[in-house]
Homo-oligomer: A and B are copies of this chain.
Amino acid sequence: MLSKNQVRFINSLKRKKIRKSEGLFLAEGEKLILDLLNSDIQLDKIFSLTEFEYPESGKVQQISERELRSISSLTTPNTMLAIFHVPETKPVQKKGLALALDEINDPGNLGTIIRLCDWFAIPQIICSKNTVDCYNPKVVQSSMGSLARVQINYLDLAEHLKQEERTIYGTFMEGQSLYKTSFAEDGVLVMGNEANGISDEIRSCIDKELGIPRFGSQNQTESLNVAMATAIFLSEMRR
């Protein structure tokens, strides 16, 4: 049985401000929840339609389908919803490859990008402060557990890039072909906003401007979606 206060509290975690002040976020679906339980991320509580074994007592509360619908963000709720603690922010790593995001707005894009980084073993994502929150329920759902395996930092991106010692690559429509670039072992790849690309302030921090060449002479395709472009860049950097 869920109390009114619980319903109100859980729903309040759909808002960034409350997630930040409470240090908690939501995840839905057994598969995703098991994936997060299997990581360093700490559980607060599970709400489940069915019985669920968890070693620590008091962590699982059984609820009805109707109650699940009252707290779910999904149009077709799964069988479980859980509250997890937002992990502590670790310092940005100084070596290896990293992805930097300059104002990515779409939660689905960020979720997909987190999955891509996990697949290609890019251990960290550095986000501008105006990039969508990675604990937004839609990001959590679309990242499919990869969220637990990729370190994500939010910071003043221009300030950070000015102090960055690695080679900074940026993606631009008219940049040099990525196929003709040999990537440094220690590098940061910057991807820009869905509509406007990389901002001028960030652009001034970039060492090499790269792009994905269009093929075919008559080609008028406007641009690739940022998640597609990220897939192609990370594949090329890791191949």
Pick from B121, B215, B236: contact of A120, CB under 8 Å:
B215
For A214, list chain B residues within 8 Å (CB). Answer: 119, 121
A116 touches B149 (CB 8 A): no
For A146, list chain B residues within 8 Å (CB). Answer: 221
Choose among A214, A232, A238 the residue with the greatest number of B CB atoms under 10 Å from its CB.
A232
Task: Tell yes or no: A110 within 8 A of B by CB.
Answer: no
What separation, in Å, do the CA atoms of A175 and B121 have in the docked complex? 19
Task: Tell yes or no: A227 within 8 A of B by CB.
Answer: yes
For A107, list chain B residues within 8 Å (CB). Answer: none
A149 touches B220 (CB 8 A): yes
Write out, one digit per residue, whether chain A residues 118-132 have a CB within 8 A of any chain B CB (1) or not (0).
Answer: 111100000000000
A119 touches B219 (CB 8 A): yes
Task: Tell yes or no: A76 within 8 A of B by CB.
Answer: no
Copies in the complex: 2
Task: Tell yes or no: A182 within 8 A of B by CB.
Answer: no
Number of residues in A with C-beta < 8 Å to the partner? Answer: 32
B225 touches A228 (CB 8 A): no
Task: Tell yes or no: A144 within 8 A of B by CB.
Answer: yes
What is the CB-to-nearest-CB distance from A98 to chain B, in angstroms, rounded to a whole number?
14
Task: Tell yes or no: A179 within 8 A of B by CB.
Answer: yes
| CB within 8 Å of B: which A215-239 residues | 215-216, 218-222, 224-225, 227-228, 231-232, 235-236, 238-239
For A228, list chain B residues within 8 Å (CB). Answer: 112, 115-116, 227-228, 231
What separation, in Å, do the CA atoms of A112 and B223 have in the docked complex? 11
Pick from B115, B149, B218, B239: contact of A224, CB under 8 Å:
B115
Can you list 20 A-B pairs with a CB-CB distance of less than 8 A?
A112-B228, A115-B225, A116-B228, A118-B220, A118-B221, A119-B214, A119-B215, A120-B215, A121-B214, A145-B220, A145-B221, A149-B219, A179-B239, A212-B235, A224-B231, A227-B228, A231-B231, A231-B232, A232-B232, A235-B236
Please give the residue numbers on chain A whose beta carbons come within 8 Å of chain B beta carbons, in ascending order.
35, 112, 115-116, 118-121, 144-146, 149, 179, 212, 214-216, 218-222, 224-225, 227-228, 231-232, 235-236, 238-239
Given contacts A115-B224, A231-B235, 7 further A-B contacts (CB under 8 A): A118-B220, A119-B212, A121-B214, A121-B216, A144-B221, A232-B235, A236-B239
